A and B are shown apart, each in its own frame.
Chain A
Amino acid sequence: MPYTAEISRTNPGCFIFLVDQSASMSDPIGSGEMVQQRAQVVSDAINRLLTELSVKCAKEEGVRDYFHVAVIGYGHTQVGSAFTGGLAGRDLVPLSEIANNPARLESRTKKVPDGAGGLVETTVQFPVWMDPVTNGGTPMTRALGYADSLVARWVDEHPGGFPPIVLNLTDGESTDGDPTSAAIGLASHATADGAVLLFNLHVSGASGTPVTFPDGEGDLPDTYSRLLFHMSSVLPSHMRSYAASQGHRVSDATRGFVYNADITSIIEFLDIGTRATELR
């Protein structure tokens, strides 16, 4: 059965995040008091995910390398590593190195229950590995090609492992041509456990209801959203079950795709799309 390989230190998992850094990512998302820059929301979500992964894989005296992670930015100036600080310029990095090398630890305030039915503000440490960047166009085809080269090397070195998962987060149409064939090429790489998984998230414009994990084109409004839908892999069964447990309606055809994502569905997309089989 595909997508059941155990994830262990000898057979680690591989996550590649592709982050749109085009100029339009400086536009707002959310409403009322919750308005934030799209690029800020995406980088916060990825920093939070890296924090949660590090905590989840922490054992006594270190983080176990159950995963290797790359965060690749694509915008006007370049396609390449979006890490800042000590990991700047690096592609796939073992999780223990990520945990030990945040660019900085920010102090952020968070509201927590005060034990008497109310909320109280407290300061928490927020590790940061990537900062929001916004500039120029959306070279998605090049970004998928970049991921292709990382994935090709990975499956060569880990032929029996869980296949790499590529999560593409964007707010606009590709400006360097139709990305379909690059996406097909990327998802054609495979390990003995299955083909590479490509999941896509489209960040919301000012309005519109999110379409989360669709199993058909029916609810998608235009050609562009249908193109991203077809570029997205069907969710493997353990992710489908997890998505269902989070209240999503799923079927065997459900794809790893979110259109018009709001802040909540960005976090959900990353949570479901990086859900691992049992760690060993």
Chain B
Amino acid sequence: MGAHSTHLDVQWFLVPKTGSSSEECEDAIDVLLSPETSSLFAAVSDGASESLLAGAWARQLVHGAVALMSAADEESVVGQDGLSRFVVEDLLARTVDQWDGYLAKYEAERIARGRPITWYEQPGLDKGAFATLMAVHMREAPADPENPKAVRRWIWRAFALGDSCLFHLRDGRLLTSFPITDGHGFGITPQLLGSRNRNASLIADRVSTATGELRTEDELLLATDALAAWLLSHPEVDSGGAGRQLGRLADLDQELFAEWVQNERDKSRMRNDDVALVRMRVKTEG
């Protein structure tokens, strides 16, 4: 029997809602693999359509969350009691505290282009942008010193605000769905993180967290609400049909994945909304 090695495998997809261009997509993804590939950090965010600069805010949130998790690395930001106020303050420093600077640059750039901010944009900019956030850190568990040759384990730790979801699949079957557990959990007023919200205690209270252990070939998916609702509303989700279908789709390229999404929308099986998907696996080779 030859030697086996494991590595982390990740794909991600962004598909704008029908009628919008890719520049108008308000879902965002960030993924970072640590240099020694022992850790994977990923986040998705869904910018609220009714706020201005929601896409830019969603991108700021995913970059901030990934930077926060990778800076902590072995010291996971998700503790036994959830996300501490200290961690939330760090997240706000990387996101909310940067927003005014981003806005000032945006407004200056609009003036430079001869298109200054108008009376109908100002109230929305004053109110701030809003988005969901789902972030996960996946890492190899430390080797057992008493049994160094044992199969290595992988741990994931996630935190979420709003209705973007994480799914843990084994052989296509759903083991964990977080934070929404059934297809009826998607309303039109999910919890959102605002670009002007500096209330770390309130956010720490509202963030939910989850952890789990991955086996080789298990899959972790991060998805924004339209795709997450599609998966959870499939009757065969428990037997693995819908999960396996998503896994096969994640092996496709962006164009084919976008075609499949469009087809589901056309058949009214998926809501017409931006779609973000990240698929992560521990793969064995050798």
Contact = CB atoms under 8 A, between A and B. Distances in A.
A13 to B, nearest CB: 14
List 7 tightest A-B contacts by C-beta distance, closest first.
Answer: A54-B120, A58-B120, A10-B19, A55-B123, A99-B120, A58-B121, A55-B120
B168 interface: no
18 contacts: A10-B18, A10-B19, A54-B120, A55-B120, A55-B123, A58-B52, A58-B120, A58-B121, A58-B124, A60-B53, A63-B120, A99-B120, A100-B118, A105-B119, A125-B119, A278-B188, A279-B49, A280-B19
A56 interface: yes
Range of interface residues on A (Cβ < 8 Å): 20 to 34
Nearest to A52: B123
Interface in B17-58: 17-19, 24, 49-50, 52-53
A153 interface: no
Contacts of A251: none
A102 B229 CA distance: 41
A280 B272 contact: yes
Contacts of B18: 10
Question: Which secondary structure dominates chain B's binding surface?
Answer: loop
A271 to B, nearest CB: 16
A100 B120 CA distance: 9
Interface string A154-192: 000000000000000000000000000000000000000
A6 interface: yes
A280 B273 contact: yes
A114 interface: no
A85 B273 CA distance: 37
A99 B273 CA distance: 26
Interface in A1-42: 6, 8-10
Interface residues of B, number: 19
B17 A280 contact: yes
B149 interface: no
A6 B272 contact: yes
Nearest to A9: B19
Contacts, number: 39
Nearest to B56: A60
Interface of B: 17-19, 24, 49-50, 52-53, 110, 115, 118-121, 123-124, 188, 272-273
A56 B50 contact: yes
A39 B106 CA distance: 41
A270 B159 CA distance: 41
Contact of B115 (A54, A61, A125, A279): A61
Nearest to B127: A55
Contacts of B118: 58, 99-100
A273 interface: no
Interface in A229-280: 278-280
A1 to B, nearest CB: 12
Contacts of A100: 118
A80 interface: no
Contacts of A54: 120
A10 B118 CA distance: 24
B115 to A, nearest CB: 6
Contacts of A61: 110, 115
A127 interface: yes
Contacts of B272: 6, 8, 280
